Amino acid sequence: MRTQVAIIGGGPSGLLLALLLRRRGIDTVVLERRTRAHVLGRIRAGVLERGFAALMHEAGIGARMEREGFLHEGTNIAFGDEMFRIDFRRLAGHGVLVYGQTEVTRDLYEAHDAAGSRIVFEVEEVAIEGADTDTPAVAFRTREGVRRLACDYVAGCDGFHGVSRRSIPADRRREYEKLYPFGWLGVLSETPPVNDELIYANSERGFALCSMRNASLSRYYIQVPLSDSAEAWSDTAFWDELRRRLPAPVAEALVTGPSIEKSIAPLRSFVCEPMRWGRLLLCGDAAHIVPPTGAKGLNTAASDVHYLYHALVRACLEGDEEGLERYSERALARIWKTERFSWWMTMLLHRFPDQGSFELRMQQAELAFLAESEAAQKVLAENYVGLPY
Ligand code: RFL
Ligand code: PHB
């Protein structure tokens, strides 16, 4: 088997990169460890930056997103019983789109079906060979046996737990990591959202977030200790705890119902440098993770796709490797700023087990300042809607 760009991972990064490259006549093969149904069953991100939406359009799949996505021109921050709004349109010029990662992934798979793309599911024992040579390849096992995919470049889009990052020799990469001492318990329910915009809440019982997928599908999160398990949280216990963390008028307006998905995600900040080793290019969660507080994970994956797509087009169609040589530096420059924003939002809105009374006062003062200062709100708005590529 041979292709120009072997793409490991059929999540949003890998699928979007493959679709963009195909549209420019560059051949790709996507290798995915799971089944398509499994990938589509994962409930993850909900907020898309304008840059992400532009890439969807460029890939020719923006129509349903435009039709069914919700434009959010602001967000709300609650602390205790107080709540204030950050006006994205006024402060940053435009808003964000609420359109779930599940829908993005479905649109991507459908476009690949129509294009007749080669996507191999349930691959095992994926191994990258010769990434530091001019003739790389990816070996993998399917039900039919071991196969070998020769290629010009390998895009490592296989998420945080994939093989790509670990294929870069340990002495050629540097990893930066921060683990937070809590997770997010998320619930999806077929209930109308409590508010027409998101609410991020800092309460003395811990963080809570009110989000949504559409007018009849809500997504809520609460901060929980890492030792908790999702199964141990009954729906009633979840709704009771969520209500306690929201300002009284919001809590009273909350419509509850049975959960249709419930899971706990740990919070982590992580960056691997560099994102390139020879002809292996890392992209998305394979290279970096942010805590979900700023809604940046999927959006950061998309900015990598943007840089990598343009670099690969230049390399494959014009034989010019400058874009690939500078890919890691360009992508990381934006990633570190997004890491900073996600870390800052996380520190601002959560309760920490080791938070002393001074740290608590600092957090309260920062929230009070944010509530009053247009300059501080502008910083948040500029980052939330997405830094330029
Ligand atoms: P993914 O989605 O993890 O996809 C990687 C794919 O690679 C496959 N894979 C392999 N394939 C072949 N061989 C191997 N050895 C492989 N190992 C793994 C996996 O099966 C998978 O299909 O990474 P990608 O494509 O880089 O996309 C990243 C995003 O999924 C992620 O950043 C976001 O979901 C993060 N995130 C959010 N991002 C936002 O921008 N806005 C949000 O509102 C937001 N909310 C969230 C989130 C992530 C969450 N969780 C559970 C992690 C909320 C949550 C709760
Ligand atoms: C979501 O809707 O899943 C979501 C929204 C905003 C975040 C994180 C997750 O910051």
Return mean pLDDT, the chain: 97
384 is catalytic: yes
How far is the centre of ligand 2, averaged over its atoms, from the C-alpha of 112 (Å)? Answer: 27
d(C-alpha 59, C-alpha 263), whole Å: 31
CA of 126, nearest ligand number? 1
Q: How many CB atoms lie within 10 A of CB 226?
A: 12
> In the predicted model, is pLDDT for residue 226 greater than 90?
yes
Please state the rounded mean pLDDT for residues 173-202.
Answer: 98
At residue 10, the pLDDT reads 98
Q: How confident is the model at residue 381 (pLDDT cuts 50, 70, 90)?
A: very high
pLDDT, position 44: 86
145 vs 280: CA distance, rounded Å: 24
Q: For the purposes of burial, counting CB atoms within 10 Å of the CB of 42, is it exposed (0-12), middle (13-18) or buried (19 or more)?
A: middle
Torsion angle defined by CA atoms of residues 336, 337, 343 and 344, in that order, rounded to the nearest 10 degrees = 160
Q: Which helix (H) or strand (E) holds 110?
A: helix 101-115
Respond yes or no: is residue 292 known to be catalytic: yes
Beta strands in the chain (DSSP E): 5-8, 28-31, 47-48, 70-72, 74-79, 82-87, 96-98, 118-120, 124-129, 137-142, 145-150, 153-156, 174-189, 199-203, 206-214, 217-224, 259-273, 276-277, 280-282, 288-289
pLDDT at 201: 98
Say how far residue 64 (Cα) sits from the centre of its chain. 20
* Secondary structure of 48-59 as H, E, C letters: ECHHHHHHHHHC
Catalytic one of 136, 292, 309, 327: 292
Give the residue range(s) of CATH 3.30.9.10 domains in the chain: 180-267+351-385
pLDDT band at 377 (very low <50, low <70, confident <90, very high): very high
The span from the CA of 316 to the CA of 313, in Å, is 5
Q: How far is the CA of 271 from the centre of ligand 1 (A)?
A: 15
pTM assigned to the model: 0.97
Dihedral, CA atoms, 140, 144, 150, 153, nearest 10 degrees?
A: -50
| Domain at 180-267+351-385: CATH code | 3.30.9.10
Residue 76, strand partner residues: 85, 199
Residue range(s) in the chain whose domain bears CATH number 3.50.50.60:
5-72+95-177+268-345
Q: What is the mean pLDDT of residues 229-251?
A: 98
Pocket lining for ligand 1, CB < 6 angstroms: 8-14, 31-34, 39, 44-47, 101, 123, 126, 157-159, 161-163, 184, 186, 265, 284-285, 292, 295-299, 301
User: Residue 43 has what pLDDT?
Assistant: 83
* Topology of the domain comprising 5-72+95-177+268-345: FAD/NAD(P)-binding domain (3.50.50)
Cα–Cα dist 34/37, whole Å: 8
What are the two backbone dihedrals, phi and then psi, of residue 152, each rounded to the nearest 5 degrees? -90, -35
Tens of pLDDT, residues 317-364: 999 999 999 999 999 999 999 999 999 999 999 999 999 999 999 999
For residues 22-32, average pLDDT: 98
Cα 341 off chain centre by = 14
What number is the average pLDDT over the span 296-311?
98
**Could you report the per-residue pLDDT of 108-154, keeping only the tens digit for each?**
999 999 999 999 999 999 999 999 999 999 999 999 999 999 999 99
Q: How confident is the model at residue 42 (pLDDT cuts 50, 70, 90)?
A: confident
Distance of CA 158 to the CA centre of its chain: 13
Q: What's residue 267's pLDDT? A: 98
At 100 the pLDDT is 94
